[in-house]
Amino acid sequence: MTTTATGARTATTGTTPGPRGLDAERVSWSVGGRLILDGVDATAPAGAVSGLLGPNGSGKSTLLRVLAGVQPPSDAGARVAFDDADLLGLGRRKRARVLALVEQEASTDLPLTVLDAVLLGRIPHRSLLAGDSDADRAVAHRALATVGMTAFAEREVTTLSGGERQRVHMARALAQEPALILLDEPTNHLDVAAQLDALRTLRALAEDGVTVLAALHDLNLAAQTCDHVVLLSEGRVVAAGDVRDVLVPDVLDPVYGVRTEVLTHPRTGRPVLSFELPG
Ligand SMILES: Nc1ncnc2c1ncn2[C@@H]1O[C@H](COP(=O)(O)OP(=O)(O)OP(=O)(O)O)[C@@H](O)[C@H]1O
């Protein structure tokens, strides 16, 4: 493993095959007799930013939680591989050394300083009884710098704004130095510059070899940032692949119940979408 500028740990290239990323098959999850995820197959290639898209209630958060091992799939046939390791078979601590989950409304009620909250990300990497080392603190400070929160290190998390908390969640995940990062609406609460900054951080992680899968509502942000997208509707994958193939009217209109127009950004060549209600 090597540690990179963003703090990510990536597989050192050599004669061994490169990282393959995330590959989930037949993931189902039900509650109270209702099938919320229905045999989802989804991939997130290593070294790419992948977007998990879909209308409200389509199952994005649930899928991220199952992939992260927070809730077990309800069907024994599910398989979640990451670089050929069986993620569902890993113990909690080992899994936390591989993947970080940034949840949408992560709890921040504990009276912790920002630095202490970010240091929680180091727990999987040290022995159970050890305190924070200088190296842990250096990683945490680097993560805070990456999200632009250095000046807030000694503030109590409970006093932060929604956008500031969102950045702290991201910093905690970066401090975990994951090879796979799963994020639920990482741009929630962020202003437009902060959204672009968060997505630039994800892009930098991907360039360092980290596998990134982020649930996103804003299809234009997804179009601008993602290499690969997975589109969910009612707990099923309805399309997956390159943004240019998935973010098209024939795919989006029936799923979101809108009329989509797609333009091409004159500089980046990426899709720019506009929407209206039909009729
Ligand atoms: N613990 C639960 N008990 C009952 N229903 C649940 C539970 N967890 C999720 N659901 C339901 O499963 C469906 C999918 O929820 P999920 O949060 O995964 O959707 P989502 O795509 O992330 O939605 P959003 O875009 O609105 O955040 C929703 O209808 C939700 O109400």
Residues 6+ apart with CB under 8 A from 174: 6, 7, 8, 100, 121, 142, 143, 146, 147, 201, 205
Q: Using the 8-state DSSP alphabet, how is residue 113 labeled?
A: B
- The predicted structure's pLDDT at residue 215: 98
Per-residue pLDDT of the chain (279 residues; tens, 9 = 90+): 444 444 444 444 444 556 789 999 999 999 999 999 999 999 999 999 999 999 999 999 999 999 999 999 998 899 999 997 899 999 988 999 999 999 987 666 678 999 999 999 999 888 777 788 899 999 999 999 999 999 999 999 999 998 899 899 999 999 999 999 999 999 988 899 989 999 999 999 999 999 999 999 999 999 999 999 999 999 999 999 999 999 999 999 999 999 999 999 999 999 999 999 998
Name the residue with the closest Cα to ligand 1, atom 26: 56
CA distance 212 to 183: 8
Name the residue with the closest Cα to ligand 1, atom 5: 31
Name the residue with the closest Cα to ligand 1, atom 16: 59
CA distance 156 to 117: 9
Going by their DSSP bridges, the two strands 180-184 and 211-215 should be labelled as parallel
Measured at the CA of 106, the angle between CA 140 and CA 78, to 5 degrees, comes to 100
- For residue 235, give the ligand 1 atom closest to its CA: 14
Name the residue with the closest Cα to ligand 1, atom 2: 31
Q: Using the 8-state DSSP alphabet, how is residue 159 labeled?
A: G
Centre of ligand 1 from the C-alpha of residue 206, in Å: 28
- The predicted structure's pLDDT at residue 112: 92
Name the residue with the closest Cα to ligand 1, atom 3: 31
CB 243 within 8 A of CB 273: no
- The predicted structure's pLDDT at residue 13: 42
Domains and CATH numbers, the chain: 2-276 (3.40.50.300)
Helix (H) or strand (E) holding 184: strand 180-184
Residues 6+ apart with CB under 8 A from 156: 111, 112, 113, 114
Measured at the CA of 133, the angle between CA 131 and CA 135, to 5 degrees, comes to 150
Centre of ligand 1 from the C-alpha of residue 83, in Å: 28
Centre of ligand 1 from the C-alpha of residue 61, in Å: 7
Predicted-complex ipTM score:
0.98
CA distance 185 to 51: 10
> Sign of the CA dihedral 244, 249, 251, 255?
positive
CA distance 252 to 231: 9
CA distance 52 to 215: 4
Q: What is the pLDDT of residues 33-61, one digit of tens each?
A: 999 999 999 999 999 999 999 999 999 99
CA distance 77 to 79: 7
pTM for the whole structure: 0.92
Mean pLDDT, the chain, whole residue set: 90
Centre of ligand 1 from the C-alpha of residue 31, in Å: 10
Longest CA pairwise span in the chain (Å): 63
